[in-house]
Structure 1
Amino acid sequence: MTQRPHHTAGRETAEGFTAAVCRAENGCGAADGRVLEALRGATQKVPFGVLVATGCLGRHLRCPHHEGNQVPRTGHRVVVQPCTRDRKPLGPAVAFGPLIDPTQAEALGAWLAEGLHQGLRPPPRLLAVRPSHGSES
């Protein structure tokens, strides 16, 4: 299956990104440290990539600590904003996770290093899991 390009605003190419990783105490930040190390290593390979440790990303993706959410607590949640080399945002931010083992972080890193600037869509298996909300009408 061929991946289709992920178009960005104004035909500018994403040369970098800002990746925010949840480090909330007793939350995603309590996940396996090897995953965070793999994310750090991947970010260092991209000249215009920035990894930011932050608090809960609940407003960007549904945090597993919210009542009624059935997403596993383990694993890091990451929000990535593609940008130009001068940090101008391009397109929407993309949510990933939970990342529960270093190979997932390495796969995300490979997409950040190669696929993002080529305009390829991220690997679907890494995209953020949507929580269940119980029965909705």
Structure 2
Amino acid sequence: MSQPRATSLPSPHVLTQPMVMELVGPDAVVRIDTSVGYHSRDPHALSIVFHLLGEESVVWRLDREMVLAGALGPTGEGEVHLRPAPDGELLLLLGGAGQRATIRCDQEELARFVRGTFVLVPQGTEERHIDWRPLLASLRG
């Protein structure tokens, strides 16, 4: 049986941007330095790296379309929920029940970053950017 001809993948693209966010607690708001990132080989997701003082960084992965939807109204599933805040900010509710962190960020700044990911990998073309070869090889072996 002949092997299907491998199609070449588009060149990978990476975006990163530092961004200040805030952890909103019941009694205080704490500034958190973060890095928002995107890699075209994982075209549906963006990552937010929370740089915590004296601790290892914490990484959360979010669906890029969900981030834009969260600016318009409540959205999310499982441990990731987003919703617009009354002050024009975006709230990210991360974690399970009883251990959920509320993170506030600049809605427009994050949306601008996400829109940049759609310039690199337009909606509907994501699958062309994924390298399926490692998965296929593991299924064969």
Q: TM-score, normalised by structure 1?
A: 0.25
Give the number of the structure with larger relative contact order, counting CA–CA contacts within 8 Å between residues 6 or more apart.
Answer: 1
Whose strand fraction is larger, Structure 1's or Structure 2's?
A: 2
Rg comparison, structure with higher value: 2
